Amino acid sequence: MNKKLETLHKQLVANQKKINNSSRNERIKKLKILKKNILEYTDEIKLALKKDFKKNPTEVDLTEIFPVISEINHTINNLGKWMKNQYVKTPITLIGSKSYIKYEAKGVVLIITPWNFPINLTFISLINAISAGNSVLIKPSEITSESSLIIKKIIENTFNENEVSVVLGGVKVAQDLLKLKFNHILFIGSPTIGKKVMEAASKHLSSLTLELGGKSPTIIDKNCNLKSASKRVIWAKLINNGQVCIAPDYVLVHKDIKEKFVEYLIRNIKNLYTKDSFNSPSYCRIVNNHHFKRLKSLLENAEKNGSKIIYGGKLNSKDNFIEPTIIENVSSNSNIYNEEIFGPILPLFTYEKIEDVISLINEKEKPLALYIFSRNNRNINKILDETSSGGVCINHNTLHYSNYNLPFGGINNSGFGRCHGEYGFKELSNKKSVFKQFSFFSPTDLLTPPYNSFKQKLIDLIIRYF
């Protein structure tokens, strides 16, 4: 076992009671300092992400900085309300008492975050944990090493080591961390690794939040605004070079509008990233050569099984570049049919009846997100009622994540638990039930042994009428 990790863990455990008892103002003060430091280090964050995978500075502002600052502001404005005891109704059979829910910290929280949005996903998870009064140990991804260094720098300039700590490293460090006893573990990543985290958590009966991924479908109904749909789909597919857990993984388009939809998709790719996306400063790269090779293999396997590239397909291994690529005729035997793509490759499928769409979606694991482009409310409601997913966007892509008033998370294979705003606060809090008898008399006093016929009649009345 790593002695340094054990020492950090012990410090966090020893300080947990103090942090748990911290007031609203103390937690808000921490969040304000965190906000100040993130804004001060914005240029360094942008430089780090440029080094990690050539991410455009404006895209960093939109997808990394803004969501974090927005989450902090929302939490500061609402934390007092969230922390209040939540009183619940008391049944008449318990007259003379009152009941409420008291939110207390889970305790020491381990947060393991991925490389695709290192700033966004790390700090939003941390904000939720701080708001609930937890001490935190963070392990950011070793893949985006420059971003992990700036995360560590910001944390060390914001918190004492016994409040929030960051450890850097790869798989071995993560494995050592998972041997320690945490009160809660929040993991963001793939379902494959999520299962391993869940197994490790079970040894200590740690509560768990898993934000995973999956194949998020996009449905293009015959009755939709095709120009708008094509622009929004391709924007959401190619932002961060497709390395987004809620990116449209594949498209189901009605056969009657397929050709027009493809025409609009290609036009929008060129509008967003020009005809030469390799030289577009707005188009970032696959994070490393390992993931480049994974995507290249998916594409080659799809072609081997009969798929046709209808746009793109250019690759440059030296720069981890994959051109925006649209494919069709994807066989169910292809790896890309079953595996999450996590890159700028978009498979198209056609359909005739909405029932066929629903059947295809339900054959797969439940996705993290589902997207519907339609003006037909009957079809929209049918899809909502007959499919299951972590979240849904109608006539747009991915924006449900941006609304901190909505709970964000998956279901089953795409994860469980919820984050953002009040939902993140509650996820990382223990909802402690409190019952208080304030009256000298309680009806239950009449029902204690020794039992007799009178008490039996009383119980019969309660069962029948209350």
Catalytic positions, please? Answer: 211, 245
SS3 string of 301-318? HHHHCCCEEEECCCEEHH
How far, rounded to the nearest angstrom, does the alpha carbon of residue 394 sit from its chain's CA centroid?
19
Helices 145-156 and 118-131, packing angle to 10 deg: 30
Q: How do beta strands 429-437 and 415-416 pair?
A: unpaired
Token pair 């720069």: residue? 319
Nearest of 331, 9, 276 to residue 138 by alpha carbon: 9
Helices 377-386 and 354-363, packing angle to 10 deg: 20
How far, rounded to the nearest angstrom, does the alpha carbon of residue 203 sit from its chain's CA centroid?
24
CA distance 361 to 339: 14
Token pair 């054959």: residue? 363
Phi-psi region for residue 215, left (φ > 0), alpha (ψ -120 to 50) or beta?
beta
